[in-house]
Chains A and B, each alone.
Chain A
Amino acid sequence: MNDTTHSPAGDDLEARLARALTEREDAVEAALDDVDAREDDAAFVETLRSEWLEPAPALRPVGRRRTVPRWLPVATAAAVLVGVVTLSTNLGGDAGPESRIDGSYLDVPQGDQAAAGAFDGTVEWPVSFDVPPFYDVVIRDLDPAKFGDDAVVATYKAQEGPAWTCPDDLETQLPERFAVELHDIAAAPGQQPQRLEFSRR
C-alpha cells in the first residue's frame, strides 16, 4: 500500500502537504549547501551585521543646528532665534527630567555627556535626526495631559534612512516639553529607547 497517497477524506491534502514540505526542505538544503552561492550574498550579510549588531549612533539632531555663544543672554537668544526649540538631552531613556541639562547653550558635548554621545545645544525647527533602519520614531509629551496615558503625540514607522525630519504639520501640535524617542523595532525585552528631550521657547 502506498501510504503517501492514502487519505481518509479523499482530498489532496497529503499531496499538497508533501509538495510544500519537500519544496521547503529542498530550498533549505540548497541554501545550506551553498548551491546557489554568490559573492553579493556575503555583502548582504555584512550589511545586516552593521545594521543589526552595531550599536545605533547616539540620537543627535542633524543640520539646522545653531550654536549660541555661551555669553549671549537668554533673552537675546530667544529674540534672535525665532521658531527655535531649545534642546536638552537625556540619553538612554531611563533618566528622569531632573537629569536634563536645561538652559545650557553649549554646542559641544562636555565630559561624561560627550562620552555618551549626548548633545546639548540649540536646534532650529524643523528638527531632523539620523535614524538607522529598523527604528521607529516616537514623539512623546513630557507633560502628558491631552495625549492620553502613553503621552504619544505621533509615531513614525521605521524609515529606510538616512534622515528623518519632524514634519511641518506636527509643529502646531507639539507640547511645550516633548521627547523624541528612537525605538529599535527588534528591541530585546526591557531595552529602552534612545531619547532626546526638548523644551520649546
Chain B
Amino acid sequence: METDSQEPPQGGAERPQEHAEEPAVLFPHAAATDHAPRPPTTATDDALWAADLELVQQTLTGDRTAGHAFVDRMVCIPRFLRRLDRRYGSPLGDDVLSDLSQEVAARVWRDRSRFAGKSRLESWVFGYARRVYLEGLGSWKDQSGLHVALDEGSDQHVDPGARVADAVAVELDAQAILELVDELPARDAEVIREKLVEGAPFSAIARGRGEDINAVKTRYYRALDRIRSRLHDDPRERDSQR
C-alpha cells in the first residue's frame, strides 16, 4: 500500500478549519455519561462471541464455507473507516479510504488467529480499522503541511494540525484502553462493560450474574487497577503525560 504517495484530496487541508469552533463534533462521545445506558448484556452476547471465535477458527482450517461467512463480515471495514474519517471532516477521501480498507483487511486476515472471542468479530476488526486510519491520517497530515502548524505551536495560528493531533491523541488513548480491556479475563471485561456502557449499578450486575455484590465490586476495581497500571507502563501513555 502506498498511502504515503497519495495526494491529499483537494481542499482536504482546509476542511478541519470548518469545525474550528466545534471540537465536540470530532468526538461525539467525549462525555461518556451523556449516553443513555445500553440494553443489558444477555447470554446471547456470549454465544455470539463464541460463535465468532468458532467461525474464525474454522477459517484457519481452510473451511471455505466459514471463509465466505468471514469475508461477508468484513463489509464493516469500509464503514468503520468512513465513520472515522467523518470525525475529522472527511480529509482522506474515497480513494485513500479504499486503500486503507485493503490494508485493514490484509492485517485482519493475517492476524485472525489472534482473535480470542472476547468480543464480536467486528469489535476486534474496529481496532485494526482505527489503527490503520490513524496511520493514514498521519500520512495525510504530513503531506498537507499541518505538521508546520504543530511544530510552531503558536496560539496565533489557525491550527488545524494541533486539533488533528489532539484528536489523534484521544483516538490512540481509546485504542490503548480497548486493547487492555480485551486482554482482561472475559468475566472482568463484561463487568466493565455492564458498568460503564450500560450504566448498571453494582447491585444489578451482581443480581444478573448471580454473584455477590462485593465480589463484583472487587473484580471491577481490580480490573480498573490493572488497566491503569498497564497504561502507565505504556509508552503512549507516558508520552501523553509529558
List the interface of chain A (C-beta within 8 A of B): 2-5, 7-9, 11, 13-28, 30-32, 35-38, 40-42, 44-45, 47-49, 52-53, 133-134, 158, 160, 185-186, 188-189, 191
Q: Is the CB of A32 within 8 A of B196?
A: no
Hey, which chain B residues are within 8 Å of A14, CB to CB? Answer: 196, 224
Given the known A-B contacts A21-B192, A48-B105, are A15 and B32 also in contact in the complex, defined by CB atoms under 8 Å?
Answer: yes
Q: How many A-B residue contacts, CB cutoff 8 Å? A: 150
Interface segment among B119-127, B140-148, B149-157: the answer is B119-127
Contact with A along B167-181 (1 / 0, CB 8 A): 000000111011001
- For B, the interface residue count at a CB cutoff of 8 angstroms equals 58
A79 to B33, CA, bound (A): 80
Asked if A186 and B67 sit within 8 Å, CB to CB, the answer is no
Instruction: Say whether B35 faces chain A, with CB atoms less than 8 Å apart.
Output: yes
Does any Cβ of A come within 8 Å of B72's Cβ? yes
When distances are taken between beta carbons in the complex, the residues of chain A under 8 Å from B197 are: 18, 21-22, 25
- Report Cα–Cα, A188/B105, bound state, in Å: 17
Contacting residue for B227 out of A13, A28, A186, CB 8 A: A13
Which one of A26, A31, A49 contacts B68 once the chains associate, using CB atoms below 8 Å?
Answer: A49
* A20-B177, A32-B76 given; A4·B195 CB < 8 A: yes
Q: Are B83 and A30 in contact (CB under 8 A)?
A: yes
Instruction: Say how far A82's CB is from chain B's closest CB, in angstroms.
Output: 37
Evaluate whether A28 and B68 lie within 8 angstroms (CB atoms) in the complex, with A22-B35, A22-B197 already known.
Answer: no
Q: Would you call B80 an interface residue if the criterion is a C-beta within 8 Å of the partner chain's C-beta atoms?
A: yes
**A134 and B109 alpha carbons, distance in the complex (Å):** 9
State whether the Cβ of B77 lies closer than 8 Å to any Cβ in chain A: yes
Known: A18-B197, A186-B109. A13 touches B83 (CB 8 A): no
Contact in complex: A15, B35 (CB < 8 Å): no
Point out residues on B near A: beta carbons under 8 Å: 1, 27, 29-33, 35, 38, 60-62, 64, 67-68, 71-72, 74-80, 82-83, 98, 101-102, 105-106, 109-110, 112, 120, 122-123, 126, 173-175, 177-178, 181, 192-193, 195-197, 199, 201-202, 221, 224-225, 227-228, 231
Q: Of A18, A30, A44, A52, which contacts B67 at CB under 8 A?
A: A52
Contacts A23-B29, A45-B74 given; does A11 touch B193 at CB 8 Å: no
| Residues of B contacting A37 in the complex (Cβ-Cβ under 8 angstroms) | 75, 79
